Amino acid sequence: METTTSIPIWKRIWDRLGILGAIIILVLIGIVVSFIQNQQVTTAVLSSTIRQSTPLVLGALCGLIGERTGIINIGIEGQMLMAAFIGYLANVYIGQLGVFSVGMTLFLAALIGIATGALLGLLLAFMSVTLKMDQIIGGTVINILAIGITGYFYQVGLTTQGKLQPIALGRLADIPLVGPVLFDNPPITYITLILVVVVHYMLFYTRWGLRSRAVGEYPSAADTVGINVYLMRYVNTTIAGGFAGLAGVFLTLEAVGSFERLMTNGRGFVALAVMIFGKWTPFGAWGAALLFGFATAMQTQFQFMGNLTIPHQFIGMLPYLLTIVVLAGFVGRSRPPAAEGIPYEKE
Amino acid sequence: MSEQSVEEGNGRSSSWLRRIWNTTSVPVGAVLLAALIGAAILAISGANPLDAYAALIKGSFGDSAAVGRTLEKATPLIFSGLAVAFAFKAGLFNIGAQGQLLVGAIVAAYVGFSIEGLPAIIHAPLALIAGAAAGAIYGAFPGALKTYTGANEVITTIMLNYVAINLTDYLADGPWKDTTPGNVVARTPKIFDSAAIPFVGDIPIGFFIALLMAVITWWLLYKTTIGFEIRTVGLNPHAAKYAGIKVAFTVILTMTLSGLLAGMGGSIETQGIVGRYQPGFNANLGFDGITVALLGKTHPFGVIPAALLIGAMKAGSSQMQFSADVAKEITDVIMAFILFFVAADMIIRWILRTRAAEGEKITLSTGWGK
């Protein structure tokens, strides 16, 4: 006890949080300062940050659940695209039945979209576990398949009864800045924030999480203690697919409200980057996604303000350059799960 | 074991034929099975599969113009496929072939339209080399970032793709914009004829350059010390380091050469097909390179038939859309299944009862750049 008390409290906090804590504090100070200067813009940029980051967080969660269990998933883009499409079609056709309310229709459509993502996750598991196919090829198959199927069955002129609307959380939504940014969002945005915490808890504090990580790091050891490596990989990749499905559904049922060809526009790949950036942890991915979302929001804001001397393409590069700079400057080397990408052969 | 020795005893010609059968049965079987699945999807959605496929084949191989179109579509894919396959050999996943290709394409265009009065024998190679060099520099960058800061090339190349899109958009709509009266779209001026890479009849000369580059890539990978080092780093960077190979240098070199191949593909697209740089004209050529590389089992000579196959489907899909009224995305679906069946070769080998050739199993994904 003597030794603990002799260390000053600020030092203990610093040791605990380190450079990350310092960055968070700086960001918070920055937000407060900018809020004092311009309330409206700050609120708009931060709300947009949350919106932009949502599909990326979900995609990254999909990626990391799979990779923690040893399955590389570069098919997130395809899973998102297909789920966005099927979820949208479900919204259209269930709506046409006229049996359910708008809210119920959207809920069912979202479930169908999530199931679509999960189904593609199952396909990825089948390819990489049962067929022992190269996992990068497996993901690429999903990506091309999704582009092909959504493009082939795409129809113009479909109408829906609406999209998911923001739900204000009572008094909380009235708090300046924090309220509109955090407590006045559509449902999938809330769910995403909850999922980050849930996945973190599940991955690091439950038996399932420990087993998953064991399978991803050292499958033969996991096998000897009686963990079913194949089953674990199947289950996790399928669940993870559901996360990508939710990301896709976010696009068609919450953000945009309709489907366009190739509308995921590389978000699945950016999510992959966000996952690696966040060092395969949910909170890390969330932070990386927020950074990316913030840069995207700033870009929109700059364009909105107009009369800028910088060409808009340079502002368009901002999120991507920022990611590279931060990655090269602060994050550096990251270590993927050891057994990822290697099909497991039972001895 | 004993069965194998009996087969070998049957004489050289039969084992030779068997070897061809063993290596071609899977791709051919994969194409046929994928076509069957495609036909089922077409039939379910109310189209006539026979009409659609007839139009697809007519549009890609029906006459010499169609064959020319197929080669034209295949040419950039050979380059981007080689770029991705080459990086794979060093264990690097270059998703950035797209960006490197765009940068190469616009720089080739710049050299092509800005310098006047050079003879074609100098101008065309100059533009080609300039584009290739631009791609090489753009590829070297993520390689250097990986080496010196540990930044994963998967992330940086994805990000650099978007940077390249913005950069080329800016140039084509800003300093390098076509100022011909009446032009409102973002594009560079047309390149001078002296910088163009012509056609021989219906066949683009760029196609032969692509074939040549495939041979050079193969030679570099399998017949030189550098190639040996690249492949060793790809198999096991730790062992490579222990054996005295400069891993850092090899990583940068591989990414540079990979970018060079992609950039050259962009040059040839500009000089041989488009005649200028125009945003959107080269969309997805780099991403398709990933598919081509995987379909070609990351071997330089595998890339050629893979690019031809995908090129043919691209060339024929317009004809199919026009005369059979089938959305051309069905070719993507077929492509996905071809890739699936080639990779899951055990399915076809089980159907055809053939055995795998030695060392044919492909593994690329041993993690993100370990």
A82-93: per-residue pLDDT in tens?
999 999 999 999
| Better pLDDT: A232 or B328 | A232
Q: What is the mean pLDDT of residues A34-41?
A: 76
Q: What is the largest CA-CA distance in chain B?
A: 77
**Cβ contacts of B365 on chain A, cutoff 8 Å:** 72, 134-136, 340-341
* C-beta separation of A162 from A106 below 8 A: yes
- pLDDT cut 90: percent of chain A above it: 43
| 3-class SS of residue B117 | coil
Model confidence band, residue B344 (pLDDT cutoffs 50, 70, 90):
confident
Model confidence band, residue B184 (pLDDT cutoffs 50, 70, 90):
confident
Q: What is the mean pLDDT of residues A284-296?
A: 88
Buried b (16+ CB within 10 A) or exposed e, B261-284: bbbbbbbbbbbbbbbbbbbeebee
A169 has pLDDT over 90: no
Show me where the domains of chain B are located. 22-47+326-359, 63-325
The confidence score (pLDDT) of residue A58 equals 96
The confidence score (pLDDT) of residue A296 equals 85
Residue A107 CB neighbour total at 10 angstroms: 16
A178 has pLDDT over 90: no
The alpha carbon of residue A104 is apart from the nearest alpha carbon of chain B, in Å, by 29
- Nearest by CB: A324 against B159, B169, B363: B159
- Nearest by CB: A149 against B151, B333, B343: B333
**Cβ contacts of A144 on chain B, cutoff 8 Å:** 291, 332-333, 335-336, 339
B362 has pLDDT over 60: no
DSSP classification of residue B176: T
Model confidence band, residue A210 (pLDDT cutoffs 50, 70, 90):
very high
Which is it for strands B203-204 and A184-185: parallel, antiparallel or unpaired?
unpaired
Model confidence band, residue B355 (pLDDT cutoffs 50, 70, 90):
low
Dist CA A91 CA A160 (whole Å): 6
Dist CA A46 CA A35 (whole Å): 10
Mutate to test the interface with A, among B102, B147, B152 (most CBs of A within 10 A): B152
B110-119: per-residue pLDDT in tens?
999 999 888 9
A151-166: per-residue pLDDT in tens?
999 988 888 888 888 8
Q: What is the mean pLDDT of residues A323-328?
A: 80
A220-253: per-residue pLDDT in tens?
899 998 899 999 999 999 999 999 999 999 999 9
**Cβ contacts of A276 on chain B, cutoff 8 Å:** 152, 154-155, 368
- A318 in B contact zone (CB under 8 Å): no
Taking only residues 142 to 161 of chain A, the set having a beta carbon closer than 8 angstroms to any beta carbon of chain B reads 142, 144-145, 147-154
Quick check: A327 and B155 CB within 8 A?
yes
Quick check: B366 and A313 CB within 8 A?
no
B69 has pLDDT over 80: yes
Q: What is the mean pLDDT of residues A38-43?
A: 80
B359 has pLDDT over 60: no
Model confidence band, residue A13 (pLDDT cutoffs 50, 70, 90):
low
The confidence score (pLDDT) of residue B221 equals 95
Residue A25 CB neighbour total at 10 angstroms: 11
- A257 in B contact zone (CB under 8 Å): no
Quick check: B339 and A140 CB within 8 A?
yes
The confidence score (pLDDT) of residue B313 equals 92
Closest CA to A65 of A231, A256, A244: A244
Q: What is the mean pLDDT of residues B346-352?
A: 74
Quick check: A341 and B366 CB within 8 A?
yes
- Nearest by CB: A340 against B336, B344, B367: B367
- Nearest by CB: B336 against A145, A328, A331: A145
Quick check: A72 and B170 CB within 8 A?
no
Quick check: B149 and A133 CB within 8 A?
no
Search chain A and give the residue with CA nearest B290. A140
Closest CA to A148 of B81, B38, B312, B48: B38
Dist CA A28 CA A171 (whole Å): 22
DSSP classification of residue B327: -
The confidence score (pLDDT) of residue A14 equals 62
- pLDDT cut 90: percent of chain B above it: 57
B117-134: per-residue pLDDT in tens?
889 999 999 999 999 999
The alpha carbon of residue A180 is apart from the nearest alpha carbon of chain B, in Å, by 30
**Cβ contacts of B149 on chain A, cutoff 8 Å:** 327-329, 332
Taking only residues 59 to 88 of chain A, the set having a beta carbon closer than 8 angstroms to any beta carbon of chain B reads 72
Q: What is the mean pLDDT of residues B267-286?
A: 89
- A170 in B contact zone (CB under 8 Å): no
The confidence score (pLDDT) of residue B364 equals 56
Quick check: A151 and B327 CB within 8 A?
yes
3-state secondary structure chain A: CHHHHHCCHHHHHHHHHHHHHHHHHHHHHHHHHHHHHCHHHHHHHHHHHHHHHHHHHHHHHHHHHHHHCCCCCCCHHHHHHHHHHHHHHHHHHHHHHCCCCHHHHHHHHHHHHHHHHHHHHHHHHHHHHHCCCCHHHHHHHHHHHHHHHHHHCCCCCCCCCCCCCCEECHHHHHCCCHHHHHCEECHHHHHHHHHHHHHHHHHHHCHHHHHHHHHHHCHHHHHHCCCCHHHHHHHHHHHHHHHHHHHHHHHHHHHCCCCCCCCCCCHHHHHHHHHHHCCCCHHHHHHHHHHHHHHHHHHHHHHHHCCCCCCHHHHHHHHHHHHHHHHHHHHCCCCCCCCCCCCCCCC
B30-55: per-residue pLDDT in tens?
889 999 999 999 999 888 999 999 99
Quick check: A145 and B347 CB within 8 A?
no
Quick check: B163 and A321 CB within 8 A?
yes
Q: What is the largest CA-CA distance in chain A?
A: 73
Q: What is the mean pLDDT of residues A273-285?
A: 88
Quick check: B331 and A148 CB within 8 A?
yes
The alpha carbon of residue B162 is apart from the nearest alpha carbon of chain A, in Å, by 7
The confidence score (pLDDT) of residue B3 equals 42
- A131 in B contact zone (CB under 8 Å): yes
Quick check: B344 and A134 CB within 8 A?
no
Give one DSSP letter per residue of B203-246, joined into a string.
EEHHHHHHHHHHHHHHHHHHHSHHHHHHHHHHH-HHHHHHTT--
Quick check: B145 and A320 CB within 8 A?
no
B4 has pLDDT over 60: no
Q: What is the mean pLDDT of residues B6-11?
A: 45
B210-259: per-residue pLDDT in tens?
999 999 999 999 999 999 999 999 888 888 889 889 999 999 999 999 99
B10 has pLDDT over 70: no
A60-78: per-residue pLDDT in tens?
999 999 999 999 898 999 9
The confidence score (pLDDT) of residue B12 equals 54
* C-beta separation of A61 from A201 below 8 A: no
Taking only residues 259 to 288 of chain A, the set having a beta carbon closer than 8 angstroms to any beta carbon of chain B reads 266, 269-270, 272-273, 276-277
The confidence score (pLDDT) of residue B2 equals 41
Q: Which residue has the tokens 């590069």?
A: A317
The confidence score (pLDDT) of residue A125 equals 95
Give every CB contact of residue B197 below 8 A, 6+ residues apart in sequence.
Answer: B124, B128, B204, B205, B206, B209, B268, B271, B272
A295-324: per-residue pLDDT in tens?
888 877 777 776 567 787 887 888 788 778
A15 has pLDDT over 70: no
Search chain A and give the residue with CA nearest B152. A333
Q: Which residue has the tokens 């697919």?
A: A241
- Nearest by CB: B166 against A316, A328, A342: A316
Taking only residues 95 to 114 of chain A, the set having a beta carbon closer than 8 angstroms to any beta carbon of chain B reads none
The alpha carbon of residue B262 is apart from the nearest alpha carbon of chain A, in Å, by 19
- Indicate the CATH number for domain A40-331: 1.10.3470
The confidence score (pLDDT) of residue A5 equals 55
Q: How many CB pairs under 8 A join A and B?
A: 157
Search chain A and give the residue with CA nearest B170. A313
Residue B258 CB neighbour total at 10 angstroms: 35
Q: What is the mean pLDDT of residues A267-295?
A: 88
Tokens encoding B231? 């492949």
Show me where the domains of chain A are located. 40-331
DSSP classification of residue B270: I
A94 has pLDDT over 80: yes
The alpha carbon of residue B332 is apart from the nearest alpha carbon of chain A, in Å, by 5
Dist CA A24 CA A13 (whole Å): 13
Dist CA B173 CA B163 (whole Å): 15
The confidence score (pLDDT) of residue B357 equals 54
Search chain B and give the residue with CA nearest A326. B151
Does domain B63-325 fall under CATH 1.10.10? My reply is: no
The confidence score (pLDDT) of residue B181 equals 86
